């Protein structure tokens, strides 16, 4: 796995508290290149603008406007080859549906975690990038 300090992460969540919390967890793991997006549309725009592209996309599933499922479809259209960590405060079946969608779109799912994610679960998911 690339050293966490070299990872480029795109974090997409409509909840400002979650963006701050997960951003801090990532920084504690040594990640310094973190781009935030407040919804799926902003996430796609940030992805398109990023050069080089992110190694990891961490995304909430339930967002107004373009949701996490649509974000996954957009990443697949762009042939995104990095890792994906999905987050949801919804019931388990929502995370299970998202897992199936990542398989359908041939995206590299590292984990599907409940919100807020535990720091250790986030670290284990990131370690799967290697």
Range of the domain at 78: 4-91+108-127
- Note whether residue 25 is domain-resident: yes
- Note whether residue 75 is domain-resident: yes
The token pair that represents 51 in the structure block: 């050069």
Answer for the pair 116, 22: CB distance below 8 angstroms, yes or no: yes
**Which residues are within 8 A (CB) of 18 and not within 5 positions of it... i.e. 6 or more apart?**
60, 87, 115, 116
DSSP class of residue 106 equals T
Q: What is the pLDDT of residue 109?
A: 94
DSSP for 14-81, written as a single string: S-HHHHHHHHHHHHHTT--EEEEESSHHHHHHHHHH-SSPPSEEEEES--SSS-HHHHHHHHHHTT--
- Note whether residue 103 is domain-resident: no
Query: How far, in Å, are 9, 31, 73 from residue 27 at the CA level?
Result: 11, 5, 28
- Note whether residue 101 is domain-resident: no
- Note whether residue 98 is domain-resident: no
Q: What is the pLDDT of residue 23?
A: 96
Candidates 125, 123, 112; CA nearest to 61 is 112
Candidates 52, 43, 35; CA nearest to 70 is 43
DSSP class of residue 118 equals P
The token pair that represents 73 in the structure block: 């479809």
Q: What is the pLDDT of residue 2?
A: 56
CATH classification of the domain holding 117: 3.40.50.2300
- Note whether residue 102 is domain-resident: no
- Note whether residue 99 is domain-resident: no
Total domains in the chain come to 1
- Residues 80-110: tens digit of each pLDDT: 999 999 998 777 777 788 888 898 899 999 9
- Note whether residue 66 is domain-resident: yes
User: Can you list the residues of the chain whose pLDDT is less than 50?
Assistant: 1
């Amino acid at each position: 796995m690339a050293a966490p300090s070299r990872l480029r992460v795109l974090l997409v969540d409509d909840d400002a508290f979650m963006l701050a919390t997960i951003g801090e967890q990532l920084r504690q793991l040594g990640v310094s290149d973190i781009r935030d997006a407040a919804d799926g549309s902003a996430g796609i725009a940030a992805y398109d603008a990023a050069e080089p592209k992110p190694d990891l996309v961490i995304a909430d599933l339930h967002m107004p406007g373009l949701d996490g499922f649509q974000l996954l479809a957009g990443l697949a259209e762009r042939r995104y080859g990095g890792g994906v960590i999905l987050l949801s405060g919804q019931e388990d079946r929502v995370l299970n549906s998202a897992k199936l969608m990542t398989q359908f779109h041939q995206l590299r799912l590292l984990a599907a975690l409940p919100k807020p994610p535990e720091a250790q679960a986030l670290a284990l998911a990131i370690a799967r990038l290697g």
